[in-house]
Structure 1
């Protein structure tokens, strides 16, 4: 989001500020996180918000189900792995660098470490594994930080070779970009202050300002059925956490995996309710770059291999093990098309 610009208005016309006293969102986040223990965020009163939606509570959240495409296929099915170097792989090797769209605001996944200035996290470990396979030891990686709603345009315009940015594989997105096999699974869930009366995506959200990132799967869900909440759309999920801390929104809808990082940043917030979806994360590439998709899938085969000693598990232990409630963490099994 550009400095000084407000988030997109929800259907009910909700609008909030995104900067306070000239501070950037990142600066506000740091200040609010430090202060949160002493001054926890209190949800504002409902007032007259949501009155136009009529009486009655919102329906209970449905059980999470994996998406199935219109042709009956699993959106997470991808091309079979191959180590062959086709046109896309050779293009990257000739350039001598891998250009990757990433996040710099998602703690634990892709974020800028203030102690080093570098971008790091679970997604970034995977980027490095792909780059080493394509370019050898100590590869040159160009990180391009992009907002949520620019992930697909960046791939389609070939501004990046791929996007590795907690990107859910969906039927709609699969028509626009190619995906690797899944490397993680999450689901849309509600994040609120611990003092909030909201208990999930249910009647307790009616009339509440519910924040999510524009271009996310959460926005798609809310456009289909907002359950009586007042949607607020912003550039990145981190913006939602800042607005929640400032009391400008009442709740956040985001991937449970991203929410775990936000809760780690601010212990005054927590997840409530059950996940609404089952969403596999994949690496997005251009539809024409089939050889690159196959090569990335070969990297992912190696990345998963080894069970508890796999590179995937080592990255999980480093970033996520003490932040996510997963009894037996493991990467999702790959799904391949017939061809």
Structure 2
């Protein structure tokens, strides 16, 4: 039954993508006409989600451009949030049939493993170590690690970090990378990137490091205060996380992301949340290819 359901979904995906490629209006994820998916087999996580009537997705709350709880509107917004709503719309025919929970770097994988959330969309880099613990979707974005510093900082790159205090987040790939790339820097760990930036503003750290697109979100908020320096010194392919043993849900997430890349919605949310200028082509599906 599970195999039949997966094959049926794969066929629907192929039809949607071919229709989109031919210039038609695809019956693609996000345009289900209010009907949603047929019921998944009993006993699957996807069926549990359908019976519950909503999908629970873990996102960041402190990352402008990707997952941000806007204090002015009290609404979540950003690239990851838009993908999450598209998944909800594909499953239920209703983009609001989703509950977002805050997922910081150190609890993203535990939240999947203990069932707190169904999916993680939280600027999470795909790598071999994490693939031992959870499954990942196809790549939906490729970032690169860099440095955020005050406007008047003498720090211009990794070579300037000797003896400096650098803030980053516990449990992130950024922590591992900065220890390798700048072994003579003193690394300070925080729960959230916003906490690290606040510490830099208070003079407690000299720089903050993580993926450049996250750092540019802080520059976007306070362009007179911060700047991104040092260029990209890693490549970070982002994927949506799903607990192992849930091929139906993983196939749904992949279906949505692939369709968004094919039908133009990926570029639309890029323009909305990242930049209206120099909009790139969507990244390749395979994370290894995305790192080339």
- Structure 1 and Structure 2 fold alike (TM over 0.5): yes
Taking a change above 3 Å as real, the CA distance of residues 216 and 100 of structure 1, as seen in their structure-2 partners, is: same
**Distance of 1:336 and 1:275 partners within structure 2:** 17
**Distance of 1:211 and 1:261 partners within structure 2:** 16
Query: Which of the numbers 214, 231, 236 marks the counterpart of 2:170?
Result: 214
Asked if structure 2 preserves the Cα contact closer than 8 Å seen for 1:105 and 1:112, the reply is yes
1:97 matches 2:54 = yes
Unmatched 5+ stretches in structure 2: 1-5, 13-37
Q: Secondary structure at the match of 1:282?
A: strand
* Root mean square deviation of aligned Cα: 2.1
1:329 matches 2:285 = no
Partner of 1:319: 273
Q: CA deviation at 1:142?
A: 1.1
Asked if structure 2 preserves the Cα contact closer than 8 Å seen for 1:168 and 1:279, the reply is yes
Partner of 1:112: 69
**Distance of 1:152 and 1:146 partners within structure 2:** 9
Within 5 Å, give how 1:47-62 maps onto structure 2: none
Partner of 1:146: 103
Paired residues, what number?
A: 252
**Distance of 2:81 and 2:145 partners within structure 1:** 22
Partner of 1:182: 139
Asked if structure 2 preserves the Cα contact closer than 8 Å seen for 1:179 and 1:283, the reply is yes
**Distance of 2:116 and 2:219 partners within structure 1:** 32
Query: Which of the numbers 250, 260, 263 marks the counterpart of 2:206?
Result: 250
Within 5 Å, give how 1:1-339 maps onto structure 2: 82=10, 85-86=40-41, 87-202=44-159, 204-267=160-223, 268-306=225-263, 310-322=264-276, 327-335=278-286
Q: Which stretch of the first structure deviates more once superposed, 268-277 or 224-233? A: 224-233
Deviations 1:126-162 (A, max 9, x none): 0000011111124421111122110011011111001
Higher helix share: 2
**Distance of 1:138 and 1:254 partners within structure 2:** 30
Asked if structure 2 preserves the Cα contact closer than 8 Å seen for 1:201 and 1:227, the reply is no
Give the TM-score, by structure 2 length: 0.81
Question: Taking CA–CA contacts closer than 8 Å with sequence separation of 6 or more, which of the two structures ends up with the larger relative contact order?
Answer: 1
Deviations 1:185-215 (A, max 9, x none): 001111111211111111x111100000001
**Distance of 1:100 and 1:125 partners within structure 2:** 11
**Distance of 1:330 and 1:113 partners within structure 2:** 28
Give the TM-score, by structure 1 length: 0.70
Unmatched 5+ stretches in structure 1: 1-78
**Distance of 2:49 and 2:120 partners within structure 1:** 14
Asked if structure 2 preserves the Cα contact closer than 8 Å seen for 1:101 and 1:164, the reply is yes
**Distance of 2:111 and 2:182 partners within structure 1:** 28
Partner of 1:23: none
Partner of 1:35: none
- Flag as ranges the 4+ runs of structure 1 deviating above 4 A: none
Asked if structure 2 preserves the Cα contact closer than 8 Å seen for 1:105 and 1:238, the reply is yes
Q: CA deviation at 1:336?
A: 8.8
